[in-house]
Structure 1
Amino acid sequence: MEILTFFISFTFLSLVVASSLDPEMVKKIHGECFEISHLPRDSLDKIRAGQVDLTDLAVKEHLFCYTKKVGFVNDAGILNDDLIKKRLALQIKDENKVEEYAKICNAPKKEGEEVNYFAAKVVACYYNSFPGIVIM
């Protein structure tokens, strides 16, 4: 039980550092997004482990909600590259790596692509391509 508590605390602290948002704000944003998406709360751990089910509507809705509220993406599906890079730079000190990671995962939304699918795809890219990076 202590190990689980430590892991949850560590994951939450990583999330806060990565997003550079106040811990209460992160909790509030996820709470609001859980209400919208009805995503089971334990699904966030799966997402952070790279298990992003892009066919699950709740996953897509939650990830779009969160990325929109923190400013990573807007309603039209346009990414805020500068903000994402700034958040990545909190974890990665090598500016070239930040640019490389962003170039791989921050591809523009394709015409006709659902915005919630697009946001989930970007999050999945970071977690699958760069283990240890906390994007949300």
Structure 2
Amino acid sequence: MSLHGWILFLRESHVQFSQDTSISVKEKEGTSTDRLWLGARLLEWCSSTRSGVWQWHEGISEKESEKIRRLLAEYASQELEQWYQFGEKQLQNEKEIEKLDQWLDSNEGLFHDRIWSVVNPDLLYLKEGEG
């Protein structure tokens, strides 16, 4: 299966990208687009609820967090942007940050659809890289 076919399969089945996907490869090559980079970060973020999304917020650099906020404002829905900022602001408030964990867990399908709306315009870029 081609790389593009695999991406489409993942999209259609709502399977999350793993660290070994083409987006991660493009990042390591320094050729990832902003949309693909943001999509990968959002997948990491929404997958962090098992240990608590607060750990993800604590572990990310301010530079990366700033880039995420900027790209969310540019490419994502206002809802995603608001929940991401909520997580940053409530980092030290355990009860409040649990609301974010619960929202991410209970809206997984919606969240994945929103991520795909961010990365979809750049999927052709991945296909073009197949050679």
| Fold-level similarity (TM above 0.5) | no
TM-score by length of 2: 0.35
Higher helix fraction: Structure 1 or Structure 2?
2
